[in-house]
């Protein structure tokens, strides 16, 4: 500062956090702030069932957030206040948790949340190309929701499925070994209302239905709990056993004796 510039005095106001018009703000125009009585009564009944599973009520916060997300399709002020009142927490405490985890949505989400992994291995294997292809095909500039409200597209971080890279997820269900063409076919089928079955798991349900399952309510879809590790997942295990490889023993513990490789039906 030069000697000729005036010296400012007085208080300086600093505002932290997101700007009111920044994407991802939960208290947004049109967001529900209180539930109607009939909705609240049903949520309260579901919440009692969830809370009863835990020795301490506040441990139920994560499934309760999924419950209100199943109601609204994303987190709203009404959902935050509901969780706070059920668990005797402040809204700030609920917000601190809700804004930490990416599975809790802060903006309206389509019936099908399509996430393309663009982390290191998936990107190398074509994840970036898949994302760009879907964004153009859905007429989105990047991440966003289609005009019909059916599909929300986003980048996602590693889903621990590198053995099937590049991976796409729809409502947290895996679509392995994808290509731009196969990914486009998936979203076209979803938008057209045609049945879509992921690589692992039961036929697709909507994002709100998925959120209710994550809240801890039964998944009644046929085959929802079927499945087993695939060949790429077991390759490393088989190689280690064929070569007699073992994890190092802890200091002071007895040296384990070599074990014979397990049969394939024992590995899963």
Integer Cα distance of 232 and 235 in angstroms: 5
pLDDT digits (tens, 9 = 90+) for 204-224: 999 999 999 999 999 888 877
CA-derived radius of gyration, the chain = 24
What average pLDDT does the segment 79-107 reach? 93
Q: What are phi and psi of 11, to 5 degrees?
A: -85, 145
Integer Cα distance of 64 and 70 in angstroms: 10
Query: ∠84-86-91 over CA atoms, to 5°?
Result: 5
Structure confidence at residue 30 (pLDDT) = 72
56 pLDDT more than 90: yes
Q: Report how far apart, in Å, the C-alpha atoms of 94 and of each of 21, 23, 33, 59, 254 are.
A: 22, 19, 15, 12, 47
Q: What are phi and psi of 109, to 5 degrees?
A: -120, 140
Structure confidence at residue 247 (pLDDT) = 83
What integer best gives the mean pLDDT of the chain?
Answer: 86
Cβ count within 10 A of residue 50: 20
Cβ proximity of 108 and 73 under 8 Å = yes
Cβ-based neighbours of 84, under 8 Å, separated by 6 or more: 90, 91, 93, 94
3-state secondary structure of 179: coil
pLDDT digits (tens, 9 = 90+) for 182-208: 999 999 999 999 999 998 878 899 999
What average pLDDT does the segment 21-48 reach? 82
Residue with the two structure tokens 């994002």? 207
pLDDT digits (tens, 9 = 90+) for 238-258: 888 899 998 888 787 776 555
Strands (E), 4-84: none
Six-digit token string for 33 = 């702030």
Cβ proximity of 157 and 119 under 8 Å = yes
23 pLDDT more than 70: no
Structure confidence at residue 16 (pLDDT) = 60
Cβ proximity of 114 and 208 under 8 Å = no
Cβ proximity of 169 and 159 under 8 Å = yes
Q: What is the DSSP-derived secondary structure letter of residue 60?
A: G
Report CA dihedral (154, 140, 79, 219) to the nearest 10 degrees: -60
């Amino acid at each position: 500062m030069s000697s000729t510039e005036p010296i400012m005095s007085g208080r300086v106001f600093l505002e932290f956090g997101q700007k009111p018009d920044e994407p991802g703000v939960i208290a947004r125009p049109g967001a529900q702030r209180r539930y109607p009585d009939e909705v609240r009564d049903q949520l309260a009944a579901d919440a009692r069932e969830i809370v009863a599973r835990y020795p301490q009520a506040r441990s139920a916060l994560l499934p309760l957030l999924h419950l209100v997300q199943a109601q609204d399709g994303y987190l709203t002020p009404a959902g935050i206040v509901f969780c706070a009142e059920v668990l005797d927490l402040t809204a700030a405490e609920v917000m601190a948790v809700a804004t930490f985890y990416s599975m809790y949505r802060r903006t309206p989400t389509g019936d099908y949340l399509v996430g393309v992994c663009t982390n290191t291995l998936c990107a190398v294997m074509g994840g970036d190309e898949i994302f760009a292809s879907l964004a153009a095909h859905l007429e989105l500039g990047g991440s966003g929701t289609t005009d019909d409200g059916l599909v929300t597209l986003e980048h996602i971080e590693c889903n621990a499925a590198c053995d099937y890279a590049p991976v796409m997820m729809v409502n947290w269900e895996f679509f392995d070994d994808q290509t731009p063409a196969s990914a486009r076919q998936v979203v076209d089928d979803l938008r057209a209302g045609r049945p879509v079955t992921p690589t692992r798991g039961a036929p697709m349900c909507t994002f709100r239905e998925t959120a209710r399952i994550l809240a801890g309510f039964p998944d009644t879809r046929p085959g929802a709990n079927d499945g087993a590790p695939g060949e790429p997942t077991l390759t490393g295990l088989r190689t280690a056993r064929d070569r007699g490889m073992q994890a190092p023993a802890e200091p002071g513990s007895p040296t384990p004796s070599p074990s014979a490789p397990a049969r394939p039906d024992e590995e899963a």
